[in-house]
A and B are shown apart, each in its own frame.
Chain A
Amino acid sequence: MAIDKYMRERFFPHIWCPGCGHGTILNNMLRAVDELQLNQNEMVMVSGIGCSSRISGYVDFHSLHTLHGRALAFATGIKMSQPNLSVICPMGDGDALAIGGNHFIHACRRNMDITAIVMNNRIYGMTGGQYSPLSGSGITATTAPQKTIDREFDITSLSLASGATFVARTTAYHYREITKYIKEALQHPGFSVVEILSQCPTHFGRRNKLGDAPEMLKLYKQNTTRIGSEAKQNNPELIERGIFRQEIAPEYCAEYAELINRVQQG
């Protein structure tokens, strides 16, 4: 496979636990980059803090490993200052939507051409298994020994309401969809959100008795369905996969370039 050239093998082995879904996401993200034949010198990956965020170190792009929750804020400066660059922001669920929630909704609203990938494992893995705003209620975590009472965000609904112009969801089980949606997102001229459910057998699966990685992956197969499928009508509990929105709207950097033209022509 031609994705080797996009990886910094010098920095392997990676830090992810055996069975983690993040490696599958890295693999299929790079397949998307490869299929699009993108120029590595024009690729920038910006990440925050957490297990997911280490992904930026492993790819042979320009890479910026920033602060917890701030990936999109740094990415906004990169894209705005150099709009020809392709900017990808892989984030964890806590990273993107707890500490980074404000940056997330404003990045959606601005519609700058950045690809946000939320690697949603519903747990803070790196810090040892605390519950996140995506855990939902009834989950056992180190900070919820008596199970969570918090309700969870729905990332796709939040993205849609905040104005993201491309919104998709899939899981680490549906790896071909990862490549497909990231490919679509990278080509989309506006702010894209791809939510990917990713298993954390070490902290989420183990504490919630969901079994090992293969069993957690099977759950993604069982608990999800295509958007608008008959299965969803019969069972509203199923999580929908697919593209929720794909529409063209004024892109921020293009609008600013027009503003500059207008000002300079007096």
Chain B
Amino acid sequence: MTQRTEFIQGNEVCVNAALYAGLDFFAGYPITPSSEIAETMAKQLPRIGGKFLQMEDEISSICSIIGASLTGHKVMTATSGPGFSLMQETLGFAVMAEIPCVIVDVQRGGPSTGLPTHGSQGDVYQARWGTHGDHAIIALTASNHQDLFSMTVEAFNMAETYRTPVILLMDEITGHTREPVNLPEQGEIPIIGRLRTSVPEGVDYHPYLPREDGRLPMSDFGGKHRYNVTGLYHDMWGFPTTDPNVIHGLIHHLMDKIENHAHEITRYREYYLDDAHTVLISYGCSARTALHVVNSRRRRGEKLGLLELQSLWPFPAELVRAKCAHAHYILVVEMNMGQVVHEVKKAVHEPERVYLANRVDGEFITPTDVRGIMRLIHGRGV
């Protein structure tokens, strides 16, 4: 049973959910439009005996949370586009060294300093490919505060389950919107804790030897097992190697542990998809607009449906293909020059039926914008 309703910003929801998930260490650097996350953390964390650090930049922010994760803590940092760019190298380190952590990107208009105070969804591909080298990544998003709460908790759960950084893609609009949110009681949403090794002291512990299920139990820095952690290709002891067999095994492990579990990671909501001729696909703030369009058209008897993606990476291609199988056309609603639309085109059988409804001038995409694109598709002019 939900006990408490608050009327707060999305950024504050994110903090509440992170604390609910067990976070007790946060480091960050001021940046619009994510700063309220750091501000709220600075206020809340000492109350529960947790630690807040304001670092000298975004690079050191992500580095320090990785350090704290290694000592056994649940950790997060929050930033926006320019800071997310600075974090990319260390994000790759967390992928390679398999360190659980959550990175929140409250998206604003880019490239560069761009539009600090306006919403955007331009970092979807950066979340996937921002750091160098082949890798797999998990990125989650949400369109409303209730889902933002649960997706934030899920981000922590997935970080622990898959020993990986998880990116939570928010945006200025969800971050700064105030709306009611029900804060769940402890126990209402399951929390996944750290999987720690049962290997006793004095017995050789292999920090990078996956179990049969692919998971790697950890041992805290400061604990009874001393081992090496590196961003280089490494063997089961965590020591650098150039052995082709070990390298082959590690890169496949890093990809497979996430890509092979894509169906477990996939999160979505669907509205009226069963008989939909027109399928809208959207996520984050844009999904609010898309849902409005679908609801209003349904009231007029038109067969529109919405697939709202809450996990963007690994991209839920199978889900998209299945949900769009009977669609006459598919309209991807997003606030960028077209990012998820390309993934949808790759996923469906007839990519020529996939269209983009976007807005990139800093203003929130409106139902009128989406309806205008639909008129164009139907050949009815603007």
Residues of A near any B CB (own CB < 8 A): 8, 10-11, 40-42, 44, 46, 56-57, 60-67, 70, 72-82, 84-85, 102-103, 106, 256, 259-260, 263-264
Contact = CB atoms under 8 A, between A and B. Distances in A.
B297 interface: no
Contacts, number: 127
Contact of B90 (A64, A67, A72, A78): A67
A84 B59 CA distance: 25
Contacts of A46: 67
B113 interface: no
8 contacts: A11-B239, A76-B63, A77-B67, A81-B71, A103-B60, A106-B60, A259-B46, A264-B46
Interface in B266-304: none
B64 A57 contact: no
Interface stretch (B50-58, B121-129, B159-167): B50-58
A56 B239 CA distance: 10
B63 A74 contact: yes
B67 A75 contact: yes
| A56, A72, A74, most chain B CB atoms within 10 A | A74
Contacts of B66: 74, 77
A65 to B, nearest CB: 4
A77 B222 contact: no
Contacts of B214: none
Nearest to B89: A67
B93 A85 contact: no
Given A64-B70, A106-B60, 12 more contacts: A57-B228, A57-B239, A67-B231, A73-B55, A73-B59, A74-B64, A76-B67, A80-B68, A81-B67, A82-B68, A102-B60, A263-B47
A73 B221 contact: no
Interface string B44-88: 001101010101110110011111111111010000000000000
B240 interface: yes
A63 B228 CA distance: 5
A57 B228 CA distance: 6
B25 interface: yes
Interface residues of B, number: 41
Contacts of A81: 25, 51, 67-68, 71, 73
B366 to A, nearest CB: 42
B70 A76 contact: no
Contacts of B53: 76-77, 80
A74 B51 contact: no
B252 interface: no
A253 to B, nearest CB: 9
Contacts of B49: 260, 264
Interface string B90-123: 1001000000000000000000000000000000
Contacts of B133: none
Given A11-B239, A85-B71, A76 B64 contact: yes
